[in-house]
Amino acid sequence: MGIKKITLFFSVLILIISLFISSCKGKAESPRTLSAPLPTMAKPVQVPNFLKKPKEAPPPVMEMEYKTIPKVIKTSQSKEAPPPIAEMVVIKAEPTVYEIPQFPWPPPKASASTNIPQEFLRKTEDAEITLAEVDLKLTSALEKCGYYEKSYFGVHDGFALVTRLEQINPDGTSIDPPDRWSIKVKSGNFSLSEYIKALFTANPGHFRIIVFICTPHPFSQTEASVSRDEATIWLASGLNKLPKTIGVLKYSKDYSSTALIYEFEKPSYNENAKTKLPSDLSGRIHLEKAKIWKALEE
């Protein structure tokens, strides 16, 4: 009986030891099974980056609110905003352009005429200039020769420049001042009747008006001579300067500048001045004697 008990004791002990060893093996293997997936847990480390993405791009709702906020601000500041385009156009609009008086067209029959060479008006043959630059060239040449008073009229796509009536010698040279401009009117009391009276009660002699016409269109002259009224009021009825609307036009090669000479002769005190048709001098000679030709050529 003692041996059986001892055998049973050792059998139970061995069984307990076996169970204990097997349980220890299970505990030892469980960390191994748990540690096996550990390498795969490195991937979830990127989760914080994923969580940070919404911070870089706001949610749709916030984006919609962000877009609408500037619109509200603009409407609230619309009082200080610049005026609409239409209002700006009105503010920057050019001043009212007064209608330029038109020169008689076709022009009345002149005593003489001549064309101004293109090279007198252009610096080079291919130079692009405007009518304002042509006017400047003509005006500069006239002022060098003592013609300080002038007036402007409109013609087809161009202008007419009229000089003051002057007294000249039979050879076309200008009489020395003050007799050159002896047709005078009382200052501040200008009227057509007074000017006509001064003209046709003036000393006997020769008188001249020069009209420069710049236009791209060919033209002829009427058979009728200029009337006394038209000849005397040209200076007073034209504009004092060339309007910008005409000055900005390009002076193309189709343009020509023509000088029309209107010469009047008063034989005696008792006779009225009459238009001299034709003049004893050519148009070019008139400009040369007036020194205008040379001034334009410079």
Total Cβ atoms within 10 A of residue 83: 10
DSSP, collapsed to helix, strand or coil, labels residue 48 as: helix
pLDDT category at 183 given cuts 50, 70, 90 is low
Q: What is the pLDDT of residues 206-263, one digit of tens each?
A: 899 999 999 999 999 998 887 655 777 888 889 999 999 999 999 998 999 999 999 9
pLDDT, mean of residues 264-288: 87
Q: What per-residue confidence (pLDDT) applies to 286?
A: 97
Q: DSSP assignment of 107-163, as one string? A: PPBPSEEEEEPHHHH-SSTT---BHHHHHHHHHHHHHHTT---EEEEEETTEEEEEE
More reliable by pLDDT, 110 or 203:
110
CB 178 within 8 A of CB 144: no
Dump pLDDT digits (tens) for 151-173.
999 999 999 999 998 999 999 99
Q: Distances in Å between the alpha carbon of 295 and those of 11, 124, 146, 161, 166?
A: 146, 17, 11, 17, 18
Mean pLDDT of the region 179-200 = 58
| Contact in structure between 286 and 210 (CB atoms under 8 Å) | yes
CA distance 40 to 29: 19
Q: Shortest CA distance to 214 belongs to which of 162, 166, 271, 287?
A: 162
pLDDT tens across 97-118, in order? 457 899 999 999 999 999 999 9
72 versus 58: the higher-pLDDT residue is: 58
Best CA proximity match to 293, nearest among 142, 175, 152, 153? 142
Of 38-42, 191-195, 270-274, least confident by mean pLDDT is 38-42
